[in-house]
């Protein structure tokens, strides 16, 4: 308590079913006329996205759509988007999607007026000091309940060749406003709902355990866990359940707010799987979550009891919580072993090398060695 700390929760969020209908007038109120809509190739074909485009046109705006990006986005995706922005003389950016679309949108926003190599802005090498210019007005619209990227101020983009992930960070990259409309998630397939929901659960749990001091994030993380425990199965199996979808979108937002405190070992296990095997990030987190939590249990029993209670395990403990995570994956139709998602014995050494180099585990509540990562992958295999 002798240290001075700083807490920030600045993002404006318009939340609720129908919130997306406010987007055209909001852009007009900002004096914008030519938005670049950035989304992934799948979302770009969906009826709700086409309706957003039509609503913007009816309001007298001239939208341009950019949807050329990989499942795990790379630098070239961003640079192509920058060229489209310039070619269409756009005056703002609207990111619409899950973590991929929003990360690319935010990265394009950074690149418009910053002309160094994109990875010069990597936060892990102090690149935020080069973020000196203004960025175009940026609006975020989430279409999944997982990453919570809409309320973030960073983006994760990989190198085209090495697939090593870089963090682009600056407070300037916060969205001017978030339109969080749970109705946009009604049509999500059950697998995507489950995998992204487990991503949100991982964010909340790892944030609660992260070693940094942030009691506000702790409280938000526990409430996020509570909402997910209440609603993830209903959202997965009853796709248009408005209450469950709303709870999951809130919990996703909350997880991303909470993890400004830090993440941990589970994300460092998951990131290499996306790099090496192109595994869906939420799925990688879902499979690794019980094993990572088991690694962290010793010495943090009281925190695990808090999370067990938030998960609805009254008077529960860490062992019961870990068992419930395995069972939850099964009830959601998700795998519980890495071998079920094409991880093989010969991958483990390289995965462990990538994991120890990852940027998340330094905030884990206990240190993680390269051997620890190998053993965790081996256990999960």
Q: Has residue 7 been placed in a domain?
A: no
- Range in 29-33, 43-47, 372-376 the model is least confident about: 43-47
Are residues 290 and 324 located together in one domain of the fold?
yes
Q: Has residue 18 been placed in a domain?
A: yes
CA-to-CA separations, 343 to 22, 287, 321, in angstroms, rounded = 44, 11, 25
Are residues 247 and 149 located together in one domain of the fold?
no
Give the span between the Cα atoms of 13 and 141, in whole angstroms: 10
Instruction: Encode pLDDT of 203-245 as tens digits.
Output: 999 999 999 899 999 999 999 999 999 999 999 999 889 999 9
Q: Residue 326: what are its φ and ψ, rounded to 5°?
A: -60, -45
Give the span between the Cα atoms of 26 and 59, in whole angstroms: 11
Are residues 152 and 278 located together in one domain of the fold?
no
Q: Has residue 109 been placed in a domain?
A: yes
Q: Residue 140: what are its φ and ψ, rounded to 5°?
A: -120, 135
Residue 38 sits in which domain range? 13-185
Q: What is the CATH number of the domain that holds 75?
A: 3.40.50.1970
Instruction: Encode pLDDT of 264-312 as tens digits.
Output: 999 999 999 988 898 999 999 999 999 999 999 999 999 999 999 999 9
Give the span between the Cα atoms of 53 and 12, in whole angstroms: 23
In terms of pLDDT, which residue wins out, 314 or 325?
325
């Amino acid at each position: 308590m002798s240290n001075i700390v700083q807490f920030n929760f600045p993002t404006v969020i318009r939340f609720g079913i129908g919130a997306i209908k406010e987007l055209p007038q909001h852009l007009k109120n900002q004096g914008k006329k030519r938005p670049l809509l950035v989304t992934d190739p799948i979302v770009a074909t969906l009826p709700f996205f086409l309706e957003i485009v039509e609503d913007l046109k009816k309001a007298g705006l001239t939208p341009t759509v950019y949807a050329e990006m990989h499942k795990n986005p790379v630098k070239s995706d961003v640079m192509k988007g920058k060229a489209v922005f310039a070619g269409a003389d756009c005056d703002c950016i609207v990111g619409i999607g899950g973590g991929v679309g929003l990360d690319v949108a935010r990265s394009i926003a950074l690149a418009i007026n910053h002309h160094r190599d994109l990875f010069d802005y990597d936060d892990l090498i102090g690149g935020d000091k080069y973020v000196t210019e203004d960025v175009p007005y940026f609006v975020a619209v989430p279409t999944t309940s997982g990453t919570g990227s809409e309320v973030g101020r960073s983006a994760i983009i990989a190198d085209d060749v090495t697939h090593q992930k870089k963090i682009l960070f600056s407070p300037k990259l916060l969205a001017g406003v978030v339109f969080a409309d749970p109705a946009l998630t009604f049509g999500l397939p059950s697998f995507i709902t489950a995998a992204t929901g487990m991503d949100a659960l991982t964010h909340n749990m790892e944030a609660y355990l992260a070693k940094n001091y942030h009691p506000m994030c702790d409280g938000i993380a526990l409430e996020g866990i509570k909402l997910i425990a209440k609603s993830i199965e209903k959202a997965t199996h009853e796709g248009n359940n408005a209450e469950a979808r709303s709870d999951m979108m809130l919990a996703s937002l909350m997880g991303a707010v909470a993890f400004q405190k830090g993440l941990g070992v589970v994300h460092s296990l998951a990131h290499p799987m996306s790099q090496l095997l192109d595994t869906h990030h939420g799925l990688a987190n879902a499979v690794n979550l019980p094993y990572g939590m088991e690694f962290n249990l010793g010495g943090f029993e009281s925190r695990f009891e808090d999370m067990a209670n938030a998960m609805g395990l009254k008077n529960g403990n860490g062992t019961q919580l870990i068992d419930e995570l395995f069972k939850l994956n099964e009830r959601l139709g998700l795998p519980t072993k890495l071998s079920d998602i094409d991880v093989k014995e010969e991958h483990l050494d390289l995965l462990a090398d990538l994991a120890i180099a990852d940027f998340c585990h330094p905030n884990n509540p206990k240190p993680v060695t390269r051997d620890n990562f190998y053993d965790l992958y081996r256990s999960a295999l």
